[in-house]
Amino acid sequence: MIREVRVLVVDDEAAVRDALVRALDSEGYETRSAGDGANALSEVARWQPEVVVLDVAMPFMDGLTMCRTLRGRGDRTPILMLTARDAVADRIEGLDAGADDYLVKPFDLDELLARVRALVRRTYPEDGAVLSAADLVMDTTAHTVRRGGREIELSRTEFALLEVLLRNAGQSLPRETLIDRVWGRQSSNALEVYIRYLRRKIESEGEPPLIHTVRGVGYRLGPS
């Protein structure tokens, strides 16, 4: 399975936002966009992008405030900050706010794409090919899953759901986040069914449970 990297584009100018989304889409990224920092914070919490491309000057909540808010929450999502300000002091302010990289407008789209690729490589040096929790191991390149010494056969949807859980091992993931990440924006009543399928397959031989129900929230993957 080829994993699409999720990129959130945040800019209050619709023309800029749309151009960035088109450029990223053409490179195979999965994209969403927001027009201000407040809406973007909600999208980050729900969608969990792997890179945020963030403009500084926006209404309601600017990019610097959004960046500081994310970092204050312990969110380490890589952020590429965009701004028309090119003074050294402005760059320092952006980086001190928590941005990972800084690009001055106007910029070349190829340079922006190169910087996004660099942030992805920094976070996922090998595209996060091998994921694990306890004795459960997933190879996203070979599309294999093993627990202990046995190989586990999964359907495409089961694999996608387990990958989301493994990439967030130890965290309680809301039902809405899991549905959004596996089935897309549309609602799905299939989550509980597929959780049950996964439990049968990865906990089928008396092994300790790994998928835990978090009452009122969703699910968490990891040891008890």
Block means of pLDDT (10 residues each) for the chain, 224 residues, are: 75 94 92 94 89 93 94 90 86 90 91 91 66 89 86 92 92 90 73 94 88 95 89
**Identical fold at 6-123 and 130-221?**
no
What is the CATH number assigned to the segment(s) 6-123? 3.40.50.2300
Under DSSP, is residue 159 helix (H, G, I), strand (E, B) or coil?
helix
Describe the strand order of the beta sheet including 172-174 as a list of residue ranges. 172-174, 218-221, 211-214
Report the CATH architecture of 130-221: Orthogonal Bundle (1.10)
- Note the pLDDT of residue 187: 58
d(CA 47, CA 56): 21
| Contact predicate 37/81, CB 8 Å | no
- Note the pLDDT of residue 17: 94
pTM: 0.62
- Note the pLDDT of residue 13: 93
Domain boundaries, the chain: 6-123, 130-221
Closest CA to 220 of 159, 141, 167: 167
d(CA 173, CA 30): 20
Q: How far is CA 158 from the centre of its chain?
A: 19
- Note the pLDDT of residue 188: 64
d(CA 84, CA 62): 13
- Note the pLDDT of residue 1: 33
- Cβ-proximal residues to 24 (8 Å cutoff; 6+ apart), any chain: 7, 9, 31, 53, 113, 116
